């Protein structure tokens, strides 16, 4: 029997793997609402992110994916519901508490958002010296070099963003994100605008970062190949609500028309190594 929409915990749907269900949630979103004027974007949305997990959030444009993660770091204030990160309600935090939380969360924007007037070294140095104030200049240089090495961009350290390809700029943005040692990474459409080969490289990099830095990640995407490559667990949004939740295999085997409309685009390829 197929799962009912908006009932991802129902008995008709395959259970989440034990390795995921027994993990410790570090983000818990409950009954979240967000609208703009008279237009609702998120409605009664609940989900969680486990420790050291890659959670992929799928959905068509306008389904509320990007709004969700902006609410998580309070770039947008939700209208109702709660968002707990590390056990604390984000919506009740004062400015100091919010600042401390954001230091622990890396946000990879869809555009990459590098500073065009700075070299790659300076782009990484800027957040690093603000957040890790006790580091010596030698330690700052070492952290920058390590972050760039981990994304395969050691030879770009003194280049300008304009000298890099789109994929390289995405990798440089990720290096800037991980250089401050975040505990959570939020990826907003990390493969948008990239060719398939470069998209696969970014997906592999997401897995490598998770493994090396023990991060917990939410990956917002409509790229099925990215989802296949990175997901420990998948949630699909539809009209601002959780429509279905499960593994990539469960989604690919689903007879649900909305799910099929996503997964029939390209034939299955390699999944994330378990």
Are 230 and 270 in a shared domain?
yes
The answer on pLDDT for 26 being more than 90 is yes
Answer with the one of 134, 154, 181 that is the final residue of a domain.
181
Contact 213, 52 (CB under 8 A): no
Are 258 and 142 in a shared domain?
no
Are 27 and 89 in a shared domain?
yes
Q: At what angle do helices 196-213 and 137-150 cross, to 10 degrees?
A: 130
Are 135 and 149 in a shared domain?
yes
Contact 33, 40 (CB under 8 A): yes
How far is it, in rounded angstroms, from Cα 180 to Cα 132? 7
Per-residue pLDDT tens for 219-258?
999 889 999 999 999 999 998 899 999 999 999 889 998 8
- Domain range for 205 is 1-6+18-104+182-274
How far is it, in rounded angstroms, from Cα 197 to Cα 194? 8
Q: Is residue 13, in this structure, part of any structural domain at all?
A: no
* Percent of the chain scoring above 70 in pLDDT: 87
Answer with the one of 181, 205, 235 that is the final residue of a domain.
181
Output the pLDDT for position 219.
96
Per-residue pLDDT tens for 1-15?
333 333 333 323 334
How far is it, in rounded angstroms, from Cα 61 to Cα 193? 15
φ, ψ dihedrals at 72, nearest 5°: -60, -35
Are 60 and 141 in a shared domain?
no
Number of domains in the chain: 2
Contact 78, 34 (CB under 8 A): yes
The answer on pLDDT for 270 being more than 80 is no
Output the pLDDT for position 273.
59
Per-residue pLDDT tens for 111-159?
667 899 999 999 999 999 999 989 999 999 999 999 999 999 999 999 9
Answer with the one of 153, 181, 209 that is the final residue of a domain.
181
Are 233 and 115 in a shared domain?
no
Are 51 and 173 in a shared domain?
no
pTM for the complete prediction?
0.84
How far is it, in rounded angstroms, from Cα 160 to Cα 24? 41
Say which residue, 111 or 63, is predicted with more confidence. 63
User: Taking the mean position of all CA atoms in its chain, how far away is CA 176?
Assistant: 15
Average model confidence (pLDDT) for the chain? Answer: 86
* Pairing mode, strands 80-85 and 233-238: unpaired
Q: Is residue 12, in this structure, part of any structural domain at all?
A: no
Are 99 and 226 in a shared domain?
yes
Are 141 and 164 in a shared domain?
yes
Are 129 and 98 in a shared domain?
no
């Amino acid at each position: 029997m197929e799962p009912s929409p908006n009932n991802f915990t129902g008995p008709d749907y395959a259970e989440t793997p034990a390795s995921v269900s027994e993990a410790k949630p570090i983000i818990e979103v409950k009954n979240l609402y967000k609208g703009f004027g008279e237009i609702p974007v998120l409605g009664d949305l609940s989900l969680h992110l486990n420790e050291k997990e890659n959670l992929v959030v799928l959905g068509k444009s306008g389904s509320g994916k990007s709004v969700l993660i902006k609410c998580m770091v309070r770039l947008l204030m939700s209208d109702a519901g709660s968002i707990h990160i590390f056990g604390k309600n984000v919506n009740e935090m004062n400015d100091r508490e919010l600042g401390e939380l954001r230091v622990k969360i890396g946000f990879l924007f869809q555009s990459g958002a590098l500073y065009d007037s700075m070299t790659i070294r300076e782009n990484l140095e800027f957040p690093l010296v603000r957040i890790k104030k006790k580091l010596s200049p030698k330690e700052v240089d070492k952290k920058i070099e390590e972050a760039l090495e981990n994304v395969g961009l050691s030879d770009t350290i003194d280049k300008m963003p304009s000298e890099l390809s789109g994929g390289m700029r995405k990798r440089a943005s990720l290096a800037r994100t991980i250089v401050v040692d975040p505990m959570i990474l939020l990826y907003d459409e990390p493969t948008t605008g990239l060719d398939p080969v470069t998209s696969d490289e970014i997906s592999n990099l997401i897995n490598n970062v998770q493994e090396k830095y023990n991060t917990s990640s939410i990956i917002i995407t409509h790229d099925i190949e990215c989802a296949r490559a990175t997901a420990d667990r998948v949630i699909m949004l539809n009209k601002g609500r959780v429509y279905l939740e499960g593994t990539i295999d469960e989604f690919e085997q689903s007879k649900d028309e909305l799910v099929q409309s996503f997964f029939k685009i390209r034939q299955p390829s390699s999944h994330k190594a378990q």
